[in-house]
Amino acid sequence: QVQLVQSGAEVKKPGASVKVSCKASGYTFTSYYMHWVRQAPGQGLEWMGIINPSGGSTSYAQKFQGRVTMTRDTSTSTVYMELSSLRSEDTAVYYCARDGRALVDVWGQGTTVTVSS
């Protein structure tokens, strides 16, 4: 079955970087774009950006430009999201989610990132 499995929870200090992974299985990895969406505690969903696993092209939300980098490894069917210069406001659950052609049809289980001194 189609599945997205994310890496485990992270605790980081302000100013540090975090890299979250998302391993896809059950479908052709390079055939579907992948989104990253985050959710701060008790808040709604916020889109961060998208990556094309085939060619590696990316598009980021303006809010995260310069701080986020999305990459992929086709040999392991894994996408990565790295967020730098972390601040307390970046404390959130980070989700990868498959783009199923104008809809988001499969989500990872989420990775909790806590930024605290």
Of the candidate residues 8, 31, 55, 103, the single one contacting other proteins (CB under 8 A): 103
**Counting contacts by CB under 8 A, is residue 110 touching other proteins?**
yes
Binding positions for other proteins, 6-45, rule CB under 8 A: 35, 37, 44-45
Residue from 69, 72, 59 nearest 31 by CA: 72
Nearer to other proteins, 30 or 52 (CB): 52
**Counting contacts by CB under 8 A, is residue 107 touching other proteins?**
yes
Rounded Cα distance, 77 and 59, in Å: 19
Structure tokens at 35: 């989104």
Burial code of 47-58, b = ≥16 C-beta within 10 A, e = fewer? ebbbbbbeeeeb
Using CB under 8 A, list all residues that contact other proteins. Answer: 35, 37, 44-47, 49-50, 59, 61-62, 95, 97, 102-105, 107-110
